[in-house]
Structure 1
Amino acid sequence: MAFIELNDYLVRLSQMRFAPNRWNGFFLLATDGTLCTLPTAKPVVEHFGQWHGRQGDPCPKARVSQLYDVLNHITVASSITSKCIGERELAAAHCAHLGPEDLLLLDRGYESFWLFKLIVASNANVCARVSCNKLKVVKAFLQSGEPDRIVKLSCTPNSARKCAEFELDKKPLKLRLIRVDLPTGESEVLITSLTDRGKYPVEIFGDLYHQRWPVEEDYKVMKSRIQIENFSGKTVHSVYQDFYAKVFTKNFAAVLIQSVSNRIKTITSGRLYSYKANVTNVLAMLRHHIVVLFNRMQDLLCENVSKIQNLIVRVLNEIRPSRSEPRAFKKKSRRKFSTAYKPIS
């Protein structure tokens, strides 16, 4: 599909033309998934499947997954598939985009020997949160009171089948367990392929893992701002086309913001807080310009992009660090799109 290829080119362009943010030399990536409500149409239901909830009629659903650059706010790869395909399998497909300069952050739902093995086989590194009561090596580590420990993770019978599927060897993996003490008094355990204690001390990992949070926030942008569940047609083709077109638009906005980052720093230097571009504002501008950009000659294209960049630096948001609010779990609204977040259309 054209938008997938355009997105791949845009990601490569952003890495070549700008100075992307890195963590200790790594591109900091995270993968996560969500469910997406689809149009109620027979071909869509047959292709993607339905969600049978406890109440109401069955609802067509797809599973969405993305490989997200959390420091540069770019979706490196994305997929929309049948809901029957699990998040780990979709994460495995994203491994084709990994390389030696990448560090992949994973949440607890992704912990598995075969997925860690696949990431390492892709010449990338991994840091994942693991359950404290599933693996024996993790239980023993917690009981020891040590801040970190180098362990050999063995292949399980379930992982053996997946290793055979991906043509991976079943040799134990040398990984590092790290204890992170939380403000609540509890401890969480991370597992990572970064085993060099001198280069990667224990103290850096608590903040590192929590840097995966932007991938969660990006789904808020996708569902509330660009409304990926608001499809223009009721065919399988339109579902794919709308989804990948909106991912490309979101990435185009991120690259435009990246292109004026130095200007924003210069304009706001000397102020109390740091500032960043207003993403919703940029997406709203692109809604009126992106089709025109595809049809302009090079000189007019550069002129239009320059105008958009000038508009971006005029609407900025303060970055106020160390803010923390308790999560309020309210009764789920029946509204399709939340009024709490401003859409771009």
Structure 2
Amino acid sequence: MKIVQKITSQLDCPTFIATHRRHPQDFTRRRQLTFKNLVLFLLNQPRTALQTELDQFYRVLNQASTESQVVTAQAFSKARSKLKPEVFESLNQALQQQIDNLGLRQRWRGLRVLAVDGSTVHLPLEPAMTRFFGSHSEFPVARLSMLYDVADGQTLHSLIVPIEVGERDCAHLHLAHLPADSLTLFDRGYPGHWLFALFEQQRRHFLMRLPCGYNAQINQFLRSGQVEDTLFFAASHPEARLFCTEAGVDPTGRVELRLIRVELASGESEVLVTSLLDRQAFPTEVFADIYHRRWGIETDYRRLKQTLCLDNFSGRSVTAVKQDFHARQLLKNLALLMQHLLQPVIEQRHKDRKLRWKVNFTQGVSRLKNTLIDLLVRPWPTS
């Protein structure tokens, strides 16, 4: 599997190691807990007692018949402080590049459909957590944000930041990771003129849900009874113009956008705004369905929090929390990719069944425990 080989080669690359360690002298001595072994251990879903997890890990790694204490929990804690959490982000970027190269992406009317959304996670009760991430109701909490592919479930970019960082600020940070020819879906907490202008500046497309009372133009559109309209939006308030300046866009510029009215089953109307102005290529009736696909990112947060036990951190430092978060994102992406690659095999095996069979994600992640070590460490046949 070329994708697995690519990750393995990264973990053995001296330049990659040098980039993702804290100090030049880190991971230079010959020890059992090498850079590669440390990364693999964190990917291997450590959830129970740390020493037990380490003993099991090295039994599998060394193909031993019984467990023994090769590395102590104290040594692991010391070693992980030398590892930058960004290592898992870099490995995920390599994974995403491999998926692109293999032509596995799905498109909608020529565009990759992505979604951005945020969440929060409770952190270990440590003073360092509150100092760095902040708190809510006296408990340390971090803000999460993801850039997510709604077709294959892959997380392209993820953030774990202090709770005071807003969702729109996170969206700004995701923009640098948007692929060309993509459409990004946002819920109604994100619209803002500076974000509209940023998308136009970077020649990227979006579809957002607007609060019904967003501004006078939206109120007038709702009263008009029109199904759609194309309008120019401007930063009409001093605060909005300040946000534009801070984001690096022209505060006096206007952005041409398209409004879409969607009638809900409840009889209420919601308004979508998009940069897709071509009515022939993107007729009005396609937007309700494509916007509904944004719910995939809500499901993905449930995967992280429930199946991957996101709040069960393997350490109590800020570094450990960041490592665990990004390691679980990478593990989730690997599991979803393997699920996607196995689906044709399962369909062929059960082709005579009435119902379509699918890989169970929870079972797949469970089976990756320790198996992932073999996939990333053992030589893979080239033929």
TM-score under structure 2 length normalisation = 0.74
Is 1:27 the counterpart of 2:107 in the alignment? no
CA distance in 2, matches of 1:159, 1:235: 37
2:247 to 166, 170, 182: 166
1:145 maps to which residue? 225
Letter in 2 for 1:13: Q
Contact 1:98–1:123 (Cα < 8 Å) also in 2: no
| In structure 1, distance between residues paired with 2:215 and 2:356 | 43
* 1:340 corresponding residue in structure 2: none
The alpha-carbon distance between structure 1 residues 281 and 135, as it changes in their structure 2 partners (threshold 3 A), is: same
Secondary structure of the structure 1 residue equivalent to 2:222: helix
> Which residue of the other structure, out of 259, 266, 273, is the alignment partner of 1:177?
259
Deviation readout 1:153-175 (Å, 9 max, x if unpaired): 11143232222122112311100
Counterpart amino acid of 2:289? Answer: D
Alpha-carbon offset, residue 99 of structure 1: 3.2
Partner of 1:109: helix, strand, or coil? Answer: coil
Match of residue 339 from structure 2: 257
* Conservation of the 8 A alpha-carbon contact between 1:163 and 1:169: yes
- TM-aligned CA distance change 1:161 to 1:270, over 3 Å: farther
Give the AA of the match of 2:248: E
Question: SS of the counterpart of 2:335?
Answer: helix
The CA distance in 1 between the partners of 2:217 and 2:356, in whole Å, is: 43
Q: Could you tell me whether the CA contact under 8 Å between 1:62 and 1:83 is conserved in 2?
A: yes
Give, in whole Å, the separation in 1 of the partners of 2:364 and 2:257.
42
For residues 350 and 361 of structure 2, what CA distance do their matches in structure 1 show? 17
SS at match of 2:108: coil
Gaps of 5+ in 1: 53-57, 304-345
CA distance, structure 2, for counterparts of residue 266 and residue 124 of structure 1: 39
Aligned residue for 1:31, secondary structure, equals strand
* Aligned pair partner of 2:330 in 223, 239, 248: 248
Return the offset for 1:11.
1.1
Provide Cα deviations, 1:290-328, integer angstroms capped at 9, x if missing partner. Answer: 2333322233xx79xxxxxxxxxxxxxxxxxxxxxxxxx
- Conserved? CA contact 1:96–1:122, under 8 Å: no
Match of 1:106 in 2: 186
Give 1:5 shift. Answer: 0.2
Larger Rg: 2
Identity within the alignment, %: 35
On the 8 A contact 1:18/1:259 being kept in 2, the answer is no
Structure 2 counterpart SS, 1:298: coil
Distance in structure 2 (CA, Å) of the matches to 1:273 and 1:201: 33
Does structure 2 conserve the Cα–Cα contact (< 8 Å) formed by 1:99 and 1:123? no
Deviation at 1:199, TM superposition (A): 1.0
Structure 2 match to 1:322? none
For 1:265 and 1:118, how far apart are their aligned partners in 2?
43
* DSSP 3-state at the match of 1:110: coil
CA root-mean-square deviation: 1.7
1:47 to 132, 139, 163: 132
Q: Does 1:59 align with 2:144?
A: no
1:72 aligned to 2:152? yes
Show the counterpart of 2:93: 8
Residue matched to 1:191: 273
Partner of 1:120: 200
User: Residues 296 and 26 from structure 1, CA distance in 2 versus in 1: closer, same or farther, beyond 3 angstroms?
Assistant: same
2:379 equivalent in structure 1: 297
79-88 or 159-168: bigger deviation: 159-168
What is the DSSP-based 3-state SS (H/G/I as helix, E as strand, rest coil) of the residue aligned with 2:300?
Answer: helix
Q: Deviations over 1:49-68 (max 9, x none)?
A: 1112xxxxx11100000001
Conserved? CA contact 1:74–1:254, under 8 Å:
yes
Q: Distance in 2 between matches of 1:224 and 1:132?
A: 33
